[in-house]
Amino acid sequence: MKYIDEFQDPALARRLLDEIHATVTRPWALMEVCGGQTHSIIRHGIDQLLPEQVELIHGPGCPVCVTPLEVIDKALEIASRPEVIFCSFGDMLRVPGTGRDLFQVRGEGGDVRVVYSPLDALRIAQQNPDRQVVFFGIGFETTAPPNAMTVHQARKLGIRNFSLLVSHVRVPPAIEAIMRSPSCRVQGFLAAGHVCTVMGMDEYPELAERHRVPIVVTGFEPLDILEGVRRTVAQLERGEHTVDNAYPRAVRAEGNPAARAMLEDVFEVTDRAWRGIGVIPDSGWRLSAKYREYDAESRFAVDGIRTCEPAECRSGEVLQGLLKPHECEVFGTRCTPRTPLGATMVSSEGACAAYYLYRRLDITPAAREASPVA
């Protein structure tokens, strides 16, 4: 247990671990849905502290990773236009589209700007009335409400030179798709804490019941994750499958009602493609009819762009928990954070980047040699 001293409360961590070790009697496969949780698990070696019978599978919980190549290509096309100021969160800059990324578009003269909040993009639109300002609206239920509020404000303030390139995705349909896959091994879910901070927990009981799978809302600090694992394993050992909240300091059953109301007003549910996975029914949002005029895809006529992902990138399998990053043939060799083939390697929250960064003991010899921390 060489990492345990790094925990904020090593004594509590040890107690939780002891309890998990004492409870488990047979193999269980749990999926953590949030990319932040994946990083915390790998960084602190949590998976190696757990009993061998408890396997953690990394889920599709990194918003940057699951944004489809097609949407990245649309962003690159829009960002290249001279009349456009393209605003994005910083972690989208290096996500590879077909042949290039936003960082390169800026190098070629595109006006690409990084903002901390979508409201910053709206302010840029106010300050530049003769330009078109486009905000790259990606992310899960945690990020969608800020973007929804920004479009709402644009409409309220009569700002017409602002639009949103929307690629928002929803977690529950992804869980449904994972459970329906014939190769699914997942027996319990650590649900993403901050998604539930917004959405609450009422989307989960039906999922838990239908698939007879425990769903435990979990934070992403090391102790939160151990507590989530402890509660999930306890349910599995008892043959239960309920929804439980192991992150009550940040998650209330009803979530954030104001944010949920805004989501319902600004967006409507639609089918969405997930990078590497494909289309999942009802798994995303698009602007509702009332706000459709703020849709960048139609404003810049890029809705026809169709692209294919590189065949050798297996991030789709990684995102579905079917493949561990280091089991990919090009991991750490042709695919590194400097030369990523797919978003799971470029995003700081991606599972491949986590494995590469923290140089897991079980990675391939070739990858270990290629890693600069070796």
Partner 1 sequence: MCLAVPGKVLDIEERDGTRLATVDFGGVVKEVCLEYLPDLRVGEYAIVHVGFALQRLDEESARQTLELFTELGMLQEEFGDPWEAAAGTGATHVAEEARK
Q: Is 172 in the site for partner 1 (CB under 8 A)?
A: no
Q: State CA 153 to chain mean position distance.
A: 26
260: CB partners within 8 A, 6+ apart: 145, 198, 199, 200
Q: Is the Cβ–Cβ distance between 68 and 319 less than 8 Å?
A: no
- Nearest approach in angstroms of CB 220 to partner 1 is 9
Q: Is 118 in the site for partner 1 (CB under 8 A)?
A: yes
Q: Is 139 in the site for partner 1 (CB under 8 A)?
A: yes
Q: Is 94 in the site for partner 1 (CB under 8 A)?
A: yes
Q: Is 321 in the site for partner 1 (CB under 8 A)?
A: no
Return the residue of 2, 26, 249, 306 that touches partner 1, per CB under 8 A: 249
Return the residue of 13, 31, 57, 62 that touches partner 1, per CB under 8 A: 62
Q: Is 119 in the site for partner 1 (CB under 8 A)?
A: yes
Return the residue of 89, 274, 291, 331 that touches partner 1, per CB under 8 A: 89
Stretch that binds partner 1, among 45-53, 70-78, 326-334, 336-344 (CB under 8 A): 336-344
Q: Is 120 in the site for partner 1 (CB under 8 A)?
A: yes
Return the residue of 2, 26, 306, 338 that touches partner 1, per CB under 8 A: 338
Strand partners, 274: 278
CA dist list (Å): 86 to 90, 105, 352, 373: 12, 10, 28, 35
Return the residue of 47, 91, 244, 317 that touches partner 1, per CB under 8 A: 91
- Nearest approach in angstroms of CB 210 to partner 1 is 27
Q: Is 79 in the site for partner 1 (CB under 8 A)?
A: no
Q: Is 320 in the site for partner 1 (CB under 8 A)?
A: no
Q: Is 168 in the site for partner 1 (CB under 8 A)?
A: no
Closest among 248, 251, 271, 246 to 199, alpha carbons compared: 251
Q: Is 326 in the site for partner 1 (CB under 8 A)?
A: no
Stretch that binds partner 1, among 202-210, 283-291, 309-317, 355-363 (CB under 8 A): 355-363
Residue closer to partner 1 by CB (options 235, 256) is 256
Q: What is the Cα gyration radius of the chain? A: 21
Q: Is 66 in the site for partner 1 (CB under 8 A)?
A: no
- Nearest approach in angstroms of CB 282 to partner 1 is 22
Angle at 210 between CA 207 and CA 213, to 5 degrees: 70
Question: Which of the residues 7 through 26 are near partner 1 (CB under 8 A)?
Answer: 8
Residue with tokens 């849709």: 295
Backbone angles phi, psi at 318, to 5 degrees: -65, -45
Return the residue of 23, 53, 288, 348 that touches partner 1, per CB under 8 A: 348
Burial class (CB in 10 A: 0-12, 13-18, 19+), 48: middle
Q: At what angle do helices 35-43 and 222-238 cross, to 10 degrees?
A: 100
> Could you give the 3-state DSSP secondary structure of residue 120?
helix
CA distance 69 to 110: 19
- Nearest approach in angstroms of CB 214 to partner 1 is 24
Q: Is the Cβ–Cβ distance between 67 and 343 less than 8 Å?
A: yes
Task: Determine the size of the site formed for partner 1 (CB under 8 A).
Answer: 58
CA dist list (Å): 68 to 262, 269, 277: 25, 17, 9
CA distance 215 to 196: 12
The site for partner 1 (CB under 8 A) is made up of 8, 34-36, 43, 61-64, 89-94, 103, 114, 116-120, 139-140, 142-143, 145-146, 149, 153, 156-157, 194, 197-198, 221, 249-252, 256, 258-259, 262, 336-338, 340, 346, 348-349, 353, 356-358, 371-373
